[in-house]
Amino acid sequence: MSFFEKYSDTVQRNNSFVCVGLDPDPAKLPEHLKGKSDPTLAFLREIIDATRDIACAYKPNFAFFGAQGIAGWEALQGAIQAIPNGMPIILDFKAGDIGNTAEQYAYMAYCQLGVDAVTVNPLMGTDAIGPFFAYQNGCAFLLCLTSNPGSADILRLNTDQGVLYEVLAHKAVEWSQTGPCGLVVGATHPNDLKTIRAIATDLPILLPGVGVQGGQTNAIVQNGLNKKGSGILINSSRSILYASSGTDFAEAARQSAEDLRQVLNSARGGKR
């Protein structure tokens, strides 16, 4: 099944636009798990189990696994296996490099790890994106306007073709004729999201930055939905993962994901 098929299935089945971000920070794991031989994986298994009927996707962030060395790589593989079949998995590694290096990134994600989609930094251009398009069942989510305050330093620069993030959105539309892609837009920029959706009418948009980063849920749903009332994935990591640091962490994570699902569904005016 392609990323797009999995995404439409889970959005419908779980009535959800919630993407659960898997950013396991060893310092934040519940105390009672810290003595285990694989505390990160034990933690993520419970998080996944508690949110499997609420999420529309999972997004493991490679930095949090890579930082733990071999144990982290094993935890990443284990977490990917623990995610139910048919649920889309987006590997967040914001890859972006020359062609033969990009080929290795794409191979790592799609063949070694077996994920369904990846995040990619498009600033190196067409030939750096191309290797991801070799995987026609995948989806390369291209950074367009990121959630962090520093995104303005580069992505809001004026060019002779318009503001840089708008140029990137136009490029993504052009590239999507060749290979499957989407955009990453910070939930902290609801007004710019409206502009981006007007350019990229049909591309899926990954929206991180709700919760700890303060993104506005109502506005991003209203401005991000496509004409079919879909096409968005709203990521939350810390607010779900670390909703409690006690033995009830999985239950608290479930509640936090459910609260987000309900807020998002109210904003789209849909059924819960």
147 binds ligand OMP (CB under 6 A): yes
Q: How many residues bind ligand OMP (CB under 6 A)?
A: 19
Helix (H, G, I), strand (E, B) or coil at 188: coil
Which of 238, 244, 255, 263 lies at the binding interface for ligand OMP (CB under 6 A)?
238
Q: Report the alpha-carbon distance of residue 193 to residue 205 in Å, rounded.
A: 9
Which residues in the 92-131 window bind ligand OMP by CB under 6 A? 92, 94, 119
- 216 contributes a contact to ligand OMP by CB under 6 A: no
Q: What is the maximal distance between C-alpha atoms in the chain? A: 57
Tell the smallest beta-carbon distance from residue 35 to ligand OMP (Å): 25
And the tokens for 204?
A: 């899926």
Q: CA nearest 117: which of 147, 96, 87?
A: 87
Active site residue 194: no
Q: Does 208 contact ligand OMP by CB under 6 A? A: yes
72 binds ligand OMP (CB under 6 A): no
User: Which residues have CB under 8 Å from 85's CB, separation 6+?
Assistant: none
Distance CA 53, CA 254 (A): 10
172: tokens are 């993504």
Side-by-side strand order, sheet with 57-60 = 57-60, 18-22, 232-236, 205-208, 181-185, 140-145, 117-120, 90-95
Residue tagged active-site, from 34, 94, 227, 228: 94
Q: Which residues contact 114 (CB under 8 A, 6 or more apart)?
A: 80
> According to the binding rule CB under 6 A, does residue 138 interact with ligand OMP?
no
**Choices 25-33, 79-87, 126-134, 235-243; region in contact with ligand OMP by CB under 6 A:** 235-243
Of 211 and 224, nearer to ligand OMP (C-beta) is: 211
Minimum CB distance to ligand OMP, residue 92 (Å) = 5
Active site residues: 94
- In the complex, the residues that contact ligand OMP under the rule CB under 6 A are 21, 23, 61, 92, 94, 119, 146-147, 184, 186, 208-209, 211-213, 235-238
